[in-house]
Amino acid sequence: MSAAFSPLPEASTADLVAQRLRDAILDGSLRPGDRLVEHDLAARFQVSRGPVREAIRLLVPDGLVVLRRNRGAIVASPTFDDVLEVYAVRMSLGSLALAQAVYVDAAAHPEFGGVLILLQRLSDPEVQADALLMMEADLLFQDALLATSGLPRITSMLDQSARDVAFFVRMLGITYDSSDHTDLIRRHERVINAVRECDPEAATEAWQAHIRHTVGEFARRYPDADIKGVFSHPLTEQLFDGPIGED
C-alpha cells in the first residue's frame, strides 16, 4: 500500500462530552424535555462552551436532542411516528437479512451457536428479573441473528435502529413484564426454527409477526397513542398486514 496516513487524533473534547450526554439520556438521568444549557454543562464538565455546543449538535442526527427556537437544545420526546418509522425499518431490513441468512445457510455455520446462546440467555431468571438487562439481551440476540446474513450495510442500519428502540423503551418507560417473557422467546424460536429449516418465507413471516406484536406493545403503552388512529397510519397500512399486536 503506497498511501500515507497521518496519525489519528485522540477523541475530541466534543466527542467525549457527547458520549457523556448520550449515556445520561439513555440511562434516564436526562429526561425528555430537559433543557441542555450550554453554560451549565460547560461548568459541570469543566470545559469551554464550544465543545458543549458541538457535542449537542452531534446528538441531533441521532434523534436524542432537538433544537427549539427560543428554548435551545432539549432532550427529544419520541413520538409514536418515530416508533413506527424505526419499526418499519426493522421489519423491511430484518426480512431481507433473514432471507439472506437462509440463502447462505447461516444455521450450518459455527457462529450460529452464539446466536442460540444469546437466545437461551433470555430464559435466565436473573436477566428476566431486570427490565434493562432483558431489553439489552433481547436486542443483542436480534442483532446477532440478523448479522448472520453477512450483509454489513443492512446490519449496520439495523444496529442503529436497535439503538433507537433502546432509546424509545427507556424514554417511554416501557418494561418487559414477566408475563411477556415466554411469548417473546416463543416468537424468537419461530424465527430460529425457520432459519434452521431453510424456509425464507416462514422466517420473514415469523419476523414480521414479532414486529407487529412489538409495535402493538408500544401502541398500548405509549402515553398519547390513539390506538384506532394507529391502524390507519400510512406506515401501518403499508407495512403491517392486519391489526398490530397480533401474531
Digitized pLDDT (tens) for each residue of the chain, 247 residues in all: 455 655 645 568 889 899 999 888 877 788 888 999 999 999 999 999 999 999 999 998 877 898 888 778 999 888 777 888 888 899 999 999 999 999 999 999 999 999 999 999 999 999 998 888 888 899 999 999 999 999 999 999 999 899 888 888 777 766 666 457 899 999 999 999 999 999 999 999 999 999 988 887 777 766 565 555 545 566 655 555 544 444 4
Amino acid at 76: A
In the chain, where the domains are located: 13-75, 80-239
Check residue 246 and give its pLDDT: 46
CA gap 141, 116 in Å, rounded? 8
CA gap 241, 236 in Å, rounded? 8
- Nearby residues of 165 by Cβ (< 8 Å), 6 or more positions away: 86, 87, 90, 139
CA gap 219, 37 in Å, rounded? 32
Fold type of domain 80-239? Four Helix Bundle (Hemerythrin (Met), subunit A) (1.20.120)
Residue that the C-alpha cell 434516564 belongs to: 28
Kindly state the cell numbers that stand for 27: 440511562
Neighbours of 25 (CB within 10 A): 23
pTM: 0.76
Fold type of domain 13-75? Arc Repressor Mutant, subunit A (1.10.10)
